[in-house]
C-alpha cells in the first residue's frame, strides 16, 4: 500500500511517543531514586528552618531517601522560593513556603520572580504557629501587654522591632499590631530570624513578634521577655503566656508553614509527598517536637492548601495596602 509521505510522521507519532515518554514515566514510577533537596528560603535557626528540618528528616525515612535541607535566604524569602519555582518539576526539589513567601510577597514586591498560583505546586500545609510578642529586657521594662502598650504610646520615638526580612511573618504581625492599636513602630529587617534574636538579646532591638520555634528557647533562658501570643487563645507550649487578644479583643496574626514544589509536579509525586508529610505529622516524636516549639500540626490535602493560600493572599494583601508597606 502506498502512503503519502506527509502521513508517515502522523502514523509514527504513537510509537514515537512511547519511545520518548516511556523512560520518563518509568522514572516517575521509580521516584524517588535519589536524595531530594528541600529549599528553606531563610537563614538557619529561624522558625522556617527548624520546622523544615523536622519534617525533612521524617519524610526522608518514609520515602527511603535523604532529604537535604538547603538554606537560600534573601528578599524576604523570595530568592529561595523563586529557586523552587524554577526547579525541574521532577519531585527532587521541594521547599518550605510560609505566610510571607506565599501570601505576603506577591503584594509587597512589585517585581516578584514567581506567582504562587501559577509557578508553584501546593503539596501540604505543615503547621500553624503562634507569633510571640517578645521584648528585650535591656530596653523595654514592660512585663505585661497593657504595660507594653502604655510604654510604646509614651515613647519619645517609635520602638524598634526586628524581623527576618521585609514581608516576613514578623513584619506582617507587627503591621497588624500597629493597625489594631494605632501605635507606630520602627522596622529593622534582617537576613533571617536568628541574627535578629541575637541583637534583641544584646538590646540593640527593642522587640519582635515572631514564631515560637525561634523565640521560646531564649525566652525560657531569661534572655528575652515574652508578653503575649498572637493566636486567639493560649498555646500548649506556653500556657501561662496570655493571648494578645485578651488585651486587644479579636487580634490574631498567626504564622503558617507548608511544603511546595515547582508547578507541573506529577500528581503521583504530589500524592506521595503529601502522604509522607501527613504521616510525619502524626509521628509521636514529631508531634512532641512541634508542640514544644509552639507549633500546631495542620496537615491537609494539596487542594485545601492551595485554596488556603489564595484566602491568605487576599487577607494580607489588604493589610499591606492599608498600611502602605514597602519592600525597602
Q: Lowest-pLDDT range, 12-21, 170-179, 214-223, 274-283?
A: 12-21
Quote the pTM value. Answer: 0.77
Residue 60 has pLDDT above 80, yes or no: yes
- Delimit the domains of the chain by residue range: 34-129+255-323, 131-246
Same fold, 34-129+255-323 and 131-246: yes
**pLDDT for the residue numbered 115:** 96
| Alpha-carbon gap, residue 73 to 88, rounded angstroms | 20
Q: Is the dihedral of CA 76, 238, 251, 281 positive or negative?
A: positive
Q: Contact, 101 vs 81, CB < 8 A?
A: yes
Encode pLDDT of 284-304 as tens digits. 999 988 887 778 899 999 999
CATH of 34-129+255-323, one of 3.40.190.150, 3.30.465.10, 3.40.50.1370, 3.40.47.10: 3.40.190.150
Residue 165: CB atoms within 10 Å: 27
C-alpha dihedral (73, 219, 142, 185), degrees to nearest 10: 10
Encode pLDDT of 109-139 as tens digits. 888 999 999 999 999 999 998 899 999 999 9
Most confidently predicted of 2-6, 19-23, 201-205, 209-213: 201-205
Averaged pLDDT of the chain: 88
**pLDDT for the residue numbered 328:** 60
Residue 6 has pLDDT above 60, yes or no: no
**Beta-ladder partners of 109:** none
**pLDDT for the residue numbered 171:** 87
CATH 3.40.190.10 fits 131-246, yes or no: yes
Phi then psi dihedrals of residue 257, to 5 deg: -135, 145
Q: Contact, 265 vs 254, CB < 8 A?
A: no
Return the percentage of the chain with pLDDT > 90, whole number.
69
| Alpha-carbon gap, residue 76 to 163, rounded angstroms | 10
**pLDDT for the residue numbered 26:** 37
The 8-class DSSP code of residue 243 comes to B
Residue 16 has pLDDT above 90, yes or no: no
Sheet-wide strand order for 160-163: 186-189, 160-163, 207-211, 131-135, 225-229
Amino acid at each position: 500500500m502506498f502512503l503519502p509521505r506527509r502521513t508517515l510522521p502522523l502514523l509514527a507519532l504513537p510509537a514515537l511517543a512511547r519511545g520518548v515518554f516511556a523512560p520518563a514515566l518509568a522514572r516517575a514510577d521509580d521516584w524517588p531514586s535519589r536524595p531530594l533537596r528541600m529549599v528553606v528560603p531563610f537563614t538557619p535557626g529561624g522558625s522556617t528552618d527548624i520546622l523544615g528540618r523536622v519534617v525533612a528528616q521524617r519524610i526522608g525515612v518514609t520515602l527511603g531517601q535523604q532529604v537535604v535541607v538547603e538554606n537560600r535566604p534573601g528578599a524576604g524569602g523570595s530568592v529561595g522560593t523563586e529557586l523552587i519555582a524554577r526547579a525541574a518539576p521532577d519531585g527532587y526539589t521541594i521547599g518550605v513556603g510560609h505566610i510571607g513567601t506565599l501570601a505576603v510577597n506577591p503584594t509587597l514586591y512589585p517585581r516578584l520572580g514567581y506567582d504562587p498560583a501559577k509557578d508553584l505546586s501546593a503539596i501540604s500545609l505543615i503547621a500553624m504557629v503562634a507569633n510571640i510578642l517578645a521584648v528585650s529586657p535591656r530596653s523595654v521594662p514592660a512585663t505585661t501587654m497593657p504595660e507594653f502598650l502604655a510604654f510604646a504610646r509614651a515613647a519619645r520615638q517609635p520602638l524598634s522591632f526586628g524581623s527576618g526580612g521585609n514581608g516576613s511573618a514578623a513584619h506582617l504581625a507587627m503591621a497588624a499590631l500597629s493597625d489594631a492599636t494605632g501605635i507606630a513602630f520602627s522596622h529593622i529587617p534582617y537576613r533571617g530570624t536568628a541574627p535578629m534574636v541575637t541583637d534583641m538579646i544584646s538590646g540593640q532591638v527593642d522587640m519582635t513578634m515572631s514564631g515560637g520555634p525561634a523565640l521560646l528557647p531564649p525566652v525560657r533562658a531569661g534572655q528575652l521577655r515574652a508578653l503575649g501570643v498572637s493566636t486567639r487563645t493560649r498555646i500548649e507550649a506556653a500556657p501561662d503566656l496570655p493571648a494578645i487578644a485578651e488585651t486587644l479583643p479579636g487580634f490574631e496574626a498567626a504564622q503558617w508553614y507548608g511544603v511546595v514544589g515547582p508547578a507541573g509536579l506529577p500528581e503521583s509525586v504530589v500524592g506521595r509527598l503529601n502522604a509522607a508529610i501527613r504521616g510525619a505529622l502524626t509521628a509521636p516524636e514529631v508531634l512532641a517536637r512541634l508542640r514544644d516549639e509552639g507549633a500546631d500540626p495542620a496537615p491537609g490535602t494539596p487542594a485545601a492548601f492551595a485554596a488556603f493560600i489564595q484566602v491568605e493572599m487576599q487577607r494580607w494583601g489588604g493589610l499591606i495596602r492599608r498600611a502602605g508597606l514597602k519592600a525597602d
